[in-house]
Protein backbone atom coordinates (compact mmCIF):
# COMPACT_ATOMS: atom_id res chain seq x y z
CA UNK A 1 0.00 0.00 0.00
CA UNK A 2 1.32 3.45 -0.84
CA UNK A 3 1.81 6.04 1.94
CA UNK A 4 -1.35 8.05 2.64
CA UNK A 5 -1.06 11.78 2.00
CA UNK A 6 -2.93 14.52 0.23
CA UNK A 7 -1.88 15.60 -3.28
CA UNK A 8 0.75 18.32 -3.11
CA UNK A 9 1.79 17.47 0.45
CA UNK A 10 5.27 16.20 1.23
CA UNK A 11 5.25 12.60 2.32
CA UNK A 12 5.18 12.47 6.11
CA UNK A 13 5.17 9.85 8.81
CA UNK A 14 2.15 10.09 11.05
CA UNK A 15 1.00 8.33 14.20
CA UNK A 16 -2.69 8.48 15.10
CA UNK A 17 -3.66 7.36 18.59
CA UNK A 18 -7.36 6.58 19.13
CA UNK A 19 -9.23 5.82 22.30
CA UNK A 20 -11.79 3.01 22.08
CA UNK A 21 -15.56 3.54 22.08
CA UNK A 22 -17.67 3.73 25.20
CA UNK A 23 -18.25 0.77 27.52
CA UNK A 24 -20.67 0.38 30.41
CA UNK A 25 -17.76 1.03 32.79
CA UNK A 26 -17.09 4.36 31.07
CA UNK A 27 -20.77 5.23 31.31
CA UNK A 28 -20.92 4.32 35.00
CA UNK A 29 -17.65 6.00 36.02
CA UNK A 30 -15.83 2.78 36.88
CA UNK A 31 -12.07 2.45 36.69
CA UNK A 32 -11.51 0.11 33.77
CA UNK A 33 -7.83 -0.72 33.68
CA UNK A 34 -7.22 -4.10 32.10
CA UNK A 35 -10.67 -5.56 32.77
CA UNK A 36 -11.77 -6.91 29.39
CA UNK A 37 -15.31 -5.73 28.75
CA UNK A 38 -17.04 -4.95 25.43
CA UNK A 39 -18.26 -1.81 23.79
CA UNK A 40 -21.83 -0.88 24.61
CA UNK A 41 -24.30 0.30 21.96
CA UNK A 42 -23.11 3.89 22.26
CA UNK A 43 -19.51 2.79 21.84
CA UNK A 44 -20.37 0.80 18.72
CA UNK A 45 -22.09 3.86 17.22
CA UNK A 46 -19.09 6.02 18.10
CA UNK A 47 -16.79 3.54 16.37
CA UNK A 48 -18.98 3.57 13.25
CA UNK A 49 -18.84 7.37 13.12
CA UNK A 50 -15.07 7.26 13.53
CA UNK A 51 -14.78 4.60 10.83
CA UNK A 52 -16.66 6.72 8.29
CA UNK A 53 -14.33 9.67 8.93
CA UNK A 54 -11.15 7.61 8.81
CA UNK A 55 -12.21 5.90 5.56
CA UNK A 56 -11.91 9.23 3.72
CA UNK A 57 -8.10 9.05 4.06
CA UNK A 58 -7.36 5.68 5.68
CA UNK A 59 -4.12 4.84 7.45
CA UNK A 60 -1.63 2.35 6.07
CA UNK A 61 -1.49 0.22 9.20
CA UNK A 62 -4.02 -0.46 11.96
CA UNK A 63 -2.94 -1.77 15.36
CA UNK A 64 -4.96 -2.28 18.55
CA UNK A 65 -4.68 -3.23 22.16
CA UNK A 66 -5.83 -6.84 22.57
CA UNK A 67 -8.59 -5.81 25.00
CA UNK A 68 -11.89 -6.31 23.19
CA UNK A 69 -13.12 -2.73 23.54
CA UNK A 70 -10.08 -1.50 21.60
CA UNK A 71 -9.88 -4.41 19.18
CA UNK A 72 -13.58 -4.12 18.27
CA UNK A 73 -13.27 -0.37 17.73
CA UNK A 74 -10.30 -1.01 15.44
CA UNK A 75 -12.16 -3.78 13.61
CA UNK A 76 -15.05 -1.43 12.80
CA UNK A 77 -12.55 1.11 11.45
CA UNK A 78 -10.76 -1.61 9.51
CA UNK A 79 -13.95 -2.91 7.93
CA UNK A 80 -14.70 0.57 6.56
CA UNK A 81 -11.17 1.09 5.23
CA UNK A 82 -10.31 -2.41 4.01
CA UNK A 83 -7.61 -2.91 6.63
CA UNK A 84 -6.73 -5.87 8.80
CA UNK A 85 -6.11 -5.29 12.51
CA UNK A 86 -3.08 -6.56 14.38
CA UNK A 87 -2.88 -6.49 18.16
CA UNK A 88 -0.01 -5.57 20.45
CA UNK A 89 -0.07 -6.02 24.23
CA UNK A 90 2.20 -2.98 24.62
CA UNK A 91 -0.96 -0.89 24.11
CA UNK A 92 -2.90 -2.39 27.02
CA UNK A 93 -4.47 0.09 29.39
CA UNK A 94 -2.66 1.06 32.57
CA UNK A 95 -3.20 -1.66 35.15
CA UNK A 96 -5.06 -0.49 38.25
CA UNK A 97 -4.80 -3.72 40.23
CA UNK A 98 -7.38 -4.12 42.99
CA UNK A 99 -9.16 -0.92 41.98
CA UNK A 100 -10.31 -2.14 38.59
CA UNK A 101 -14.08 -2.15 38.20
CA UNK A 102 -14.64 0.25 41.10
CA UNK A 103 -15.95 3.81 41.20
CA UNK A 104 -13.91 6.63 42.67
CA UNK A 105 -16.19 6.71 45.70
CA UNK A 106 -15.74 2.98 46.31
CA UNK A 107 -11.97 3.38 46.13
CA UNK A 108 -12.03 6.36 48.49
CA UNK A 109 -14.19 4.49 51.00
CA UNK A 110 -12.08 1.30 51.12
CA UNK A 111 -8.58 2.80 50.63
CA UNK A 112 -8.76 6.41 51.87
CA UNK A 113 -4.99 6.84 52.27
CA UNK A 114 -4.12 5.32 48.92
CA UNK A 115 -6.95 7.21 47.24
CA UNK A 116 -5.59 10.46 48.68
CA UNK A 117 -2.13 9.58 47.33
CA UNK A 118 -3.61 8.89 43.90
CA UNK A 119 -5.56 12.15 43.82
CA UNK A 120 -2.45 14.05 44.96
CA UNK A 121 -0.41 12.44 42.15
CA UNK A 122 1.73 10.40 44.51
CA UNK A 123 2.62 6.73 43.82
CA UNK A 124 0.11 4.13 45.03
CA UNK A 125 1.92 1.30 46.83
CA UNK A 126 0.81 -2.27 47.48
CA UNK A 127 -2.30 -2.50 45.28
CA UNK A 128 -0.70 -3.51 41.97
CA UNK A 129 -1.37 -0.12 40.38
CA UNK A 130 1.00 0.24 37.42
CA UNK A 131 3.39 3.19 37.73
CA UNK A 132 2.81 6.05 35.31
CA UNK A 133 6.37 6.09 33.87
CA UNK A 134 6.22 2.34 33.27
CA UNK A 135 3.07 2.76 31.18
CA UNK A 136 4.47 5.74 29.31
CA UNK A 137 7.68 3.88 28.49
CA UNK A 138 5.97 0.74 27.15
CA UNK A 139 3.51 2.68 24.99
CA UNK A 140 6.17 5.08 23.69
CA UNK A 141 8.56 2.23 22.88
CA UNK A 142 5.90 0.44 20.84
CA UNK A 143 4.98 3.67 19.03
CA UNK A 144 8.62 4.41 18.20
CA UNK A 145 9.01 0.90 16.79
CA UNK A 146 5.94 1.27 14.58
CA UNK A 147 7.07 4.68 13.34
CA UNK A 148 10.58 3.43 12.57
CA UNK A 149 9.14 0.50 10.61
CA UNK A 150 6.72 2.70 8.64
CA UNK A 151 8.59 5.80 7.49
CA UNK A 152 6.42 7.87 5.16
CA UNK A 153 3.26 6.05 6.18
CA UNK A 154 0.35 6.64 8.56
CA UNK A 155 -0.01 4.28 11.51
CA UNK A 156 -3.20 4.19 13.57
CA UNK A 157 -3.27 2.65 17.04
CA UNK A 158 -6.51 2.06 18.94
CA UNK A 159 -5.84 1.90 22.66
CA UNK A 160 -6.95 3.38 25.98
CA UNK A 161 -7.22 6.72 27.74
CA UNK A 162 -4.49 6.53 30.37
CA UNK A 163 -2.14 4.54 28.13
CA UNK A 164 -2.43 7.11 25.34
CA UNK A 165 -2.04 10.12 27.63
CA UNK A 166 1.07 8.68 29.27
CA UNK A 167 2.49 7.52 25.95
CA UNK A 168 2.09 11.00 24.45
CA UNK A 169 3.65 12.60 27.53
CA UNK A 170 6.70 10.34 27.22
CA UNK A 171 7.03 10.85 23.45
CA UNK A 172 7.04 14.62 23.99
CA UNK A 173 10.03 14.20 26.30
CA UNK A 174 8.07 15.10 29.43
CA UNK A 175 8.03 13.46 32.85
CA UNK A 176 5.17 10.94 32.90
CA UNK A 177 5.27 10.86 36.70
CA UNK A 178 5.00 14.59 37.27
CA UNK A 179 3.53 16.21 34.16
CA UNK A 180 -0.27 16.30 33.94
CA UNK A 181 -0.68 18.80 31.11
CA UNK A 182 -2.04 16.38 28.48
CA UNK A 183 -5.83 16.11 28.74
CA UNK A 184 -7.34 12.65 28.44
CA UNK A 185 -9.05 11.60 25.22
CA UNK A 186 -12.80 11.14 25.09
CA UNK A 187 -14.21 7.91 23.67
CA UNK A 188 -13.34 7.42 19.97
CA UNK A 189 -11.43 10.71 19.93
CA UNK A 190 -7.93 10.76 18.51
CA UNK A 191 -4.59 12.53 18.54
CA UNK A 192 -2.05 12.94 15.75
CA UNK A 193 1.71 12.96 16.23
CA UNK A 194 4.68 13.26 13.89
CA UNK A 195 8.41 12.70 14.43
CA UNK A 196 10.14 15.85 15.64
CA UNK A 197 12.48 16.59 12.73
CA UNK A 198 14.89 18.64 14.85
CA UNK A 199 15.45 15.74 17.27
CA UNK A 200 18.64 13.97 16.20
CA UNK A 201 17.97 11.05 18.55
CA UNK A 202 14.77 10.08 16.72
CA UNK A 203 13.00 9.60 20.04
CA UNK A 204 10.79 12.68 20.25
CA UNK A 205 7.45 13.36 18.61
CA UNK A 206 5.42 16.54 18.22
CA UNK A 207 1.72 16.68 18.98
CA UNK A 208 -0.05 17.95 15.86
CA UNK A 209 -3.68 17.57 16.99
CA UNK A 210 -5.32 16.35 20.18
CA UNK A 211 -8.75 14.99 21.13
CA UNK A 212 -10.25 15.18 17.63
CA UNK A 213 -13.91 14.10 17.58
CA UNK A 214 -14.99 10.88 15.83
CA UNK A 215 -16.65 12.78 12.99
CA UNK A 216 -13.67 15.08 12.34
CA UNK A 217 -12.29 14.77 8.79
- Which among 2, 34, 14, 27 has a CA at the least distance from the CA of 191? 14
83 & 114 share domain = no
pLDDT above 50: residue 7: no
186 & 150 share domain = yes
For 50-78, what is each residue's pLDDT tens digit? 999 999 999 999 999 999 999 999 999 99
Confidence band for 8, pLDDT divided at 50, 70 and 90? very low
- Of the residues 93, 114, 115, 189, only one is catalytic, namely 93
Is 93 among the catalytic positions? yes
Q: What is the CATH number of the domain that holds 156?
A: 3.40.50.1240
111 & 70 share domain = no
pLDDT above 80: residue 4: no
- Of the residues 20, 144, 160, 189, only one is catalytic, namely 20
Burial class (CB within 10 angstroms; exposed 0-12, middle 13-18, buried 19+) of 205 = buried
Confidence band for 3, pLDDT divided at 50, 70 and 90? very low
39 & 71 share domain = yes
Distance, in Å, from the CA atom of 187 to the CA atom of 56, rounded to the nearest integer, reads: 20
On whether residue 4 sits in a domain, the answer given is no
Q: What is the pLDDT of residue 154?
A: 98
Contact partners, residue 168, CB within 8 Å, separation at least 6: 17, 182, 191, 193, 205, 207, 210
Which residue range forms the structural domain that includes residue 166?
Answer: 14-95+131-212
107 & 70 share domain = no
- Which among 27, 109, 103 has a CA at the least distance from the CA of 69? 27
Number of domains making up the chain:
2
Q: For residue 135, give the H/E element and its range.
A: helix 132-149
For 10-60, what is each residue's pLDDT tens digit? 568 999 999 999 999 999 999 999 999 999 999 999 999 999 999 999 999
Give the residue with greater pLDDT, 126 vs 7: 126
Q: Mean pLDDT across the stretch 74-97? A: 98
Amino acid sequence: MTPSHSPGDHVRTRLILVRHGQTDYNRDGRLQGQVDIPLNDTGTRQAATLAASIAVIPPDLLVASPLQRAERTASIVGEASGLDVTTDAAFLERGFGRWEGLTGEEIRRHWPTEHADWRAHRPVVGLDVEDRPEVGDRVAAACHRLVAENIGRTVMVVAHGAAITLGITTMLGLDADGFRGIAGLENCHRSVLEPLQSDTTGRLMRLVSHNLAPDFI
